[in-house]
Amino acid sequence: MIVRILGDGQFGVAGEHLEDLNLLDSQLQSAADADDRDAFAAALQALGDAVRRLGAPVPAGALVASDLVLPAKDAGLEEVCSLLAGEGLIPGGVASAPDARPDR
């Protein structure tokens, strides 16, 4: 799977790491739901760090479509909330499970 981090490039991440990324995505969604800016910033940083750690950079000259797009590490809560759509940045992941988010 190819993951683009805006402002940071693309990374090839093996599908076996999707569950790990989904757990971090769930933390990001929970922080956004709680309007907890500190937890949100930490979760966004952790998700990006995991993609960089688990993935391999795609060469800059390669033209490869991204399967997932993550916001830049300095993206604001409001900006990212417009991308979350209630199921996190990784559609179909843990954050989209009915019991993954508290009711508002």
Predicted confidence pLDDT, tens digits, the chain (104 residues): 999 999 999 999 999 999 999 999 899 889 988 999 999 999 999 999 999 999 999 998 898 999 888 998 888 888 887 766 655 667 665 444 444 433 33
Q: How many domains does the chain have?
A: 1
Domain with 54, as residue range(s), is 2-90
Residue 26 included in any domain: yes
Question: For residue 40, is it within any domain?
Answer: yes
In 1-104, where does DSSP find H-type helix? 18-33, 37-54, 77-84
CA 12 to chain CA mean position, Å: 14
Q: Is 95 domain-assigned?
A: no
Tell me if 99 is assigned to some domain. no
How big is the CA angle at 16 (ends 13 and 19), to the nearest 5 degrees? 95
pTM of the model: 0.78
